[in-house]
Amino acid sequence: MTKRTLTIRLQQDWKAGLRAAGRKAKTKTYQGEELAFKPSFTVQDGELRQRPVPVNSEADVEAFERDPDVFLPFDAFRSRPLRSFPYSFALARWLLADFHVRARLLDVPRHATFYSPDHPSHAFALTVTILRAFASEASGEGRRPIVLLIPVAHDFLYFRKTGIWVDQPVADALRRSGLTVVHAGPLMVNRLRSSDPCVVFGNCFAHFNARGYQLLADVVNEALQQDWPPAPVKAN
């Protein structure tokens, strides 16, 4: 019998969580299974509110396994259909109810619907409010916040087909709030001209390749130069 180890990590500090993940990725060592419960956020009366960690004890874990919905009432993905027998009915449920499957059938980015202000997950309002909160904190520390919106491959392909950027509503909402937004998709397309956008991705799906990251760096640098032109060099 294989011994299984479950580590319950209650991470309140996202910076500490990021450092821990980086250490594990660097050493390529993962001790057993890790079940991470983190605080989440919601928007109430236009303000960002933090929800507490939903699982705090071994008894909570056991109860969570029996009925996850009780602990994750606001999770937008908990309603995704699960694999079950008979599989023909499970497939039918997927076609009717799963956002990922519907996106593949309609050939739209799977995250596109979450940018709609009337999506039941309220992801659009939450995203905009989180970024506004970040900007407010940065400004309070004497820094000037910048929001960089980075497209994925399907965003490029969808734009070529429809002329629409799925994240445009976020860019528009943030700019109306007075934030500096570098919307990388349109800037990169202008540089690519008629070239296939897949040339800046490894397999036209995941991360940029070297050419893509160079192009991203170039358009960001150009955008920042326009906002903050370099100070003139004083002659000696």
pLDDT in tens, 41-97: 888 888 888 887 777 777 887 787 788 777 777 666 656 555 555 556 566 565 556
- The pLDDT score that the predictor gives to residue 14 is 45
* pLDDT value of position 4: 43
| 3 state DSSP class of 148 | strand
25: number of Cβ within 10 Å: 10
Q: What pLDDT, on the 0 to 100 scale, is given for residue 60?
A: 80
Q: Do 216 and 134 share a domain, yes or no?
A: yes
pLDDT band per the 50, 70, 90 thresholds, residue 117: confident
Write down the pLDDT at residue 190: 94
Taking CA atoms, 4 is separated from 31, 32, 33, 34, in Å, by 10, 6, 7, 11
Q: Domain range for residue 145? A: 122-227
Query: 98 lies in a domain?
Result: no
Asked if residue 101 is part of any domain, the answer here is no
The CATH number assigned to the domain holding 146 equals 3.40.50.1110
Residues 61 and 126 in one domain: no
65 and 128 in a common domain: no
Residue 208 has pLDDT above 90, yes or no: yes
Q: How many domains does the chain have?
A: 2
For residue 230, pLDDT over 60 is answered with no
User: Is residue 170 within 8 Å of residue 128, measured between CB atoms?
Assistant: yes
**Residue 220 and residue 129 share a domain:** yes
Most confident of 37-41, 104-108, 222-226: 222-226
Residue 136: the pLDDT is 92
Residue 112, domain member (yes or no): no
* Residue 208: φ, ψ to 5°: -60, 155
Supply φ then ψ for residue 173, to 5 degrees: -65, -40
Say yes or no: 51 and 135 in one domain. Answer: no
Q: Is residue 100 part of a domain?
A: no
Those residues whose C-beta lies under 8 Å from the C-beta of residue 153, and which sit 6 or more positions away, are 197, 198, 201, 204, 205, 206
232 inside domain = no
If asked whether residues 130 and 57 sit together in one domain, one would say no
User: Where is mean pLDDT largest: 18-22, 110-114, 159-163?
Assistant: 159-163
143-192 pLDDT tens trace: 999 999 999 999 999 999 999 999 999 999 999 999 999 999 999 999 99
Whether 127 and 216 map to the same domain: the answer is yes
110 lies in some domain: no
pLDDT at 71: 76
Last residue of some domain: 43, 73, 103?
A: 73
- Assess whether pLDDT exceeds 60 at residue 207: yes
User: Is residue 81, in this structure, part of any structural domain at all?
Assistant: no
Least confident of 16-20, 34-38, 158-162, 231-235: 231-235
Q: Rounded CA gap, 146 and 182, in Å?
A: 7
User: CA dist 141 to 128, 136, 182, Å?
Assistant: 20, 9, 21
| Residue 132 and residue 221 share a domain | yes
Which of the pair, 140 or 66, is modelled with greater confidence? 140
In this structure, is residue 109 part of a structural domain?
no
Inter-residue contact 184 to 214 (CB < 8 Å): no
| Mean pLDDT, rounded, for 217-228 | 89
Contact 77, 40 (CB under 8 A): no
3-class secondary-structure state, position 207: coil
